[in-house]
Structure formats: structure tokens, C-alpha cells
């Protein structure tokens, strides 16, 4: 049986990178798979956070995911802290994962400098919790952006090692990484990932930006002087041009080569307004739905609570199997 699981942190707004790299796949996969999507608030506290803002941010993220097209009638959407099996399974898996494996995690190295007191233990063990998220549901497929590939490999390694030690209980998952939009870059720097944690709002397009803001951010996006190349080979040394064309291709649901067939030889003066129009057209329905959903927090809480009950009903039996396999008294 195929089952999809994925997660997103409730920090900051949903941005174009999250949407094109992950959430759009989440929506599409609902047609063919049983899907479980999680707002990972346990992960969100591993860096300094504002406790007064977290619950609201979790609701905001639920509204954005629903606005993008996740259908709670068939798909499970919930927040991680509402299903205790995640933390319990993570603890068990921490005795399976090796410190050497965690020492290699690129995201930890990138994020550890961000806290004045030094990194929390939670930030270090973060990928083990992520593995627990996935393994708790025996998920077979995990749609993510390129930056999560290493964490998915770790989840596989943990599942394989657990099974070798305790019997075949866990299912090693496969990442599902889109081709054109796996890595959307900052609008201010084509070598840095578009990210919620970038202090400059001009670096990303948030799904809550209005049309004028989107047009303005794209107009001011960093570019170079030459016209667009005729083929993707011409992007060498031009990360910003590559990124903007990649965004266009992802939004138009076509390939980079097809975009360059139309736009090769033309300048950014013409391309940027076309990209802005396309972005606004694609995001407008999502922004409208988001505003409507956000106005009804009671509905959002009901969706999340219902999702947590359905998720818990899957994760708890798996946790019991894991506990039996490692030998806990029942
Ligand atoms: P997070 O919250 O950073 O991002 C959510 C999803 O968006 C993708 N993404 C991007 N894709 C393309 N270009 C970008 N610039 C970009 N920025 C973000 C991410 O790859 C991700 O798919 N650790 C995870 C959350 C998590 C999780 C899980 C994911 C926790 N448990 C279990 C999958 C399965 C994270 O921080 O994602």
C-alpha cells in the first residue's frame, strides 16, 4: 500500500519556495494516494520562537495549506504536538540513530549559528523526530524540496537499522522531489535558498502578498544585464536568471527549455512583468481562499483536531508494535 506523509514548519508565511517545492505536490498527490500532512510545531521550537505567536502561526499554516488545495475530507491535516506518538517514537529512534549520522546533517550546520546560547539539543536531534513523523505512518512516499533529501536518507537509514535489530516493523520511505521547482532560490541572491528565515521580505514571495507587492518584488529581483539564453546551458554563472526562469516554468507547469524557446534572446525588462503577471494569476485564488479561511479560526481548529484524531489512530498502533519489538513490558 502506498501512503504519503509530509510536513512543514509553522514559522513564517508559506512562501513560493514551499508552495512550488512541496505543497503543490501535496495537493496533486491527493488524487492517487492516501495522504497525511503535518504542521510540525515540535520542530518549530528547536530554534528560538515566540510562544505567544506559535498557535496563531500553526492556524495560519493550516489556512495556507487548505487554501492551496489540500482537502481535509480525504486527506489528514494535523499539527504534530497533538499526536503524542511522534515524540515517543522519536525517543525510541534516538537509540537507533548514531551521532555520526547526525554530525553529517547539513541543515543542522546551517542553522546552529542562529541561537545566541548555541544550538539546542532538539535542533541536533531534529532529523530523528522527522524520521519518526514519517515512520509512524509507514509512509512510502514523502514529497519534499531538494533541501530535505538528506533528512529522508537518514529516515531510511534509521528504518533499516531498526528493522535489522528488532524485526521488520518500519517502512523505509522514498523522497518525491519535483524536477523544475525542487530548489527555488532567493530573489536577492540566486545562490541562497528562498527561505522563511531570510530577514529580507524582498527575498521571497509570500503566499499572502498582494498583487502590487508581488509585482514590486519581482521587478526588484536581482538579475544581470545580458538577455535570457536560448538554452539552459547558458545559465552557467547566472544563478538569478536560472531561478527566475525556473519559477516561470514551475508556475506555467512547463519545462525550462520550453520557457527559453519563447524567451531566449529577450531581456528582463520584458520577462519580469510577464513573470509577475503569471505569479499573480496563479497565487490569487490561493490568497483569496487563505483570507477567507483565516477569518474562521474555529473551522481551522476543527479540521486540525479531526486530523489529529485520525492520525493518532494510525500512529498509536505502530508505536505499540515498536514498543513490543524493542521489548518494553506491556
Ligand atoms: P520546511 O518547513 O522548511 O519546508 C517545507 C517544505 O518546503 C520545501 N522548501 C522548498 N522547496 C523548494 N525551494 C525552496 N526554497 C524551499 N524551501 C522549503 C521543503 O523542502 C519542505 O518540503 N524538516 C522539514 C519539515 C518536516 C518534514 C517532516 C518534511 C518535519 N517532518 C517529515 C517531510 C516529512 C522542514 O523544515 O520543512
What does the pLDDT average to over 51-64? 96
Residue 195 has a pLDDT of 93
In a domain, 188, yes or no: no
CA distance 318 to 44: 24
Model confidence at 50, pLDDT cuts 50, 70, 90, reads very high
* Domain containing residue 275: 201-292
Judge whether 7 and 40 are in contact, CB under 8 Å.
yes
Judge whether 65 and 18 are in contact, CB under 8 Å.
no
For the chain, give the mean pLDDT: 95
Residue 311 has a pLDDT of 98
Closest CA to ligand 1's atom 26:
7
* 152 and 50 in a common domain: yes
List, chain by chain if needed, residues with CB within 6 Å of any ligand 1 atom.
5-9, 17-18, 21-22, 40, 43, 130, 133-134, 142, 144-145, 147-148, 151, 182-184, 193-194
* 246 and 99 in a common domain: no
Active site includes 196? Answer: yes
* 145 and 34 in a common domain: yes
What does the pLDDT average to over 147-176? 97
- Of 9-13, 27-31, 63-67, 286-290, the range with the lowest mean pLDDT is 9-13
CA atoms within 13 A on the CB side of 24: 22
What does the pLDDT average to over 193-206? 93
Q: How far is the CA of 98 from the centre of ligand 1 (A)?
A: 23
Residue 98 has a pLDDT of 98
Model confidence at 23, pLDDT cuts 50, 70, 90, reads very high
In a domain, 195, yes or no: no
* 254 and 124 in a common domain: no
* CATH number of the domain to which 247 belongs: 1.10.240.10
* 94 and 215 in a common domain: no
In a domain, 190, yes or no: no
Residue 106 has a pLDDT of 96
In a domain, 28, yes or no: yes
Total count of domains within the chain = 2
* 133 and 274 in a common domain: no
Place of cell 545566541: 116
Active site includes 111? Answer: yes
In a domain, 81, yes or no: yes
* CATH number of the domain to which 28 belongs: 3.40.50.620
Residue 208 has a pLDDT of 85
* 273 and 144 in a common domain: no
In a domain, 192, yes or no: no
* 119 and 54 in a common domain: yes
Q: How far is the CA of 239 from the centre of ligand 1 (A)?
A: 21
* 154 and 56 in a common domain: yes
* 302 and 279 in a common domain: no
Residue 93 has a pLDDT of 98
* 212 and 138 in a common domain: no
* 98 and 33 in a common domain: yes
In a domain, 284, yes or no: yes
In a domain, 83, yes or no: yes
CA distance 294 to 67: 9
Amino acid at each position: 500500500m502506498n501512503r504519503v506523509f509530509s510536513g512543514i514548519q509553522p514559522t513564517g508565511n508559506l512562501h513560493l519556495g514551499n508552495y512550488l517545492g512541496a505543497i503543490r505536490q501535496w495537493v496533486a498527490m491527493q488524487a492517487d494516494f492516501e495522504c497525511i500532512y503535518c504542521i510540525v510545531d515540535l520542530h518549530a521550537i528547536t530554534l528560538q520562537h515566540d510562544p505567544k505567536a506559535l498557535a496563531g502561526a500553526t492556524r495560519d499554516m493550516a489556512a495556507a495549506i487548505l487554501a492551496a488545495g489540500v482537502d481535509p475530507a480525504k486527506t489528514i491535516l494535523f499539527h504534530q504536538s497533538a499526536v503524542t506518538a511522534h515524540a515517543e517514537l522519536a525517543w525510541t529512534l534516538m537509540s537507533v540513530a548514531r551521532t555520526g549520522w547526525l554530525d553529517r546533517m547539513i541543515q543542522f550546520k546551517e542553522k546552529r549559528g542562529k541561537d545566541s546560547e548555541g544550538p539546542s539539543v532538539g535542533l541536533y536531534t531534529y532529523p530523528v523526530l522527522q524520521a519518526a513523523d514519517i515512520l509512524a505512518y509507514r509512509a512510502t512516499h514523502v514529497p519534499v524540496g531538494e533541501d530535505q533529501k538528506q533528512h529522508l536518507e537518514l529516515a531510511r537509514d534509521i528504518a533499516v537499522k531498526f528493522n535489522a535489530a528488532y524485526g521488520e516493523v518500519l517502512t523505509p520511505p522514498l523522497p518525491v522531489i519535483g524536477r523544475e521547482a525542487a530548489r527555488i532560490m532567493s530573489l536577492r541572491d540566486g545562490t541562497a535558498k528562498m527561505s522563511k528565515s531570510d530577514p529580507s521580505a524582498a527575498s521571497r514571495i509570500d503566499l499572502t502578498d498582494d498583487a502590487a507587492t508581488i509585482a514590486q518584488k519581482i521587478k526588484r529581483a536581482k538579475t544581470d544585464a545580458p538577455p535570457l539564453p536560448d538554452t539552459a546551458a547558458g545559465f552557467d554563472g547566472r544563478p538569478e536568471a536560472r531561478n527566475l526562469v525556473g519559477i516561470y516554468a514551475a508556475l506555467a507547469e512547463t519545462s525550462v527549455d520550453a520557457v527559453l524557446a519563447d524567451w531566449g534572446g529577450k531581456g528582463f525588462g520584458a520577462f519580469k512583468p510577464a513573470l509577475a503577471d503569471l505569479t499573480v494569476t496563479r497565487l490569487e485564488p490561493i490568497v483569496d481562499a487563505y483570507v477567507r479561511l483565516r477569518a474562521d479560526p474555529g473551522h481551522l481548529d476543527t479540521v486540525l483536531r479531526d486530523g489529529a484524531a485520525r492520525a493518532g489512530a494510525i500512529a498509536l498502533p505502530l508505536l505499540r508494535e515498536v514498543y513490543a519489538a524493542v521489548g518494553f513490558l506491556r
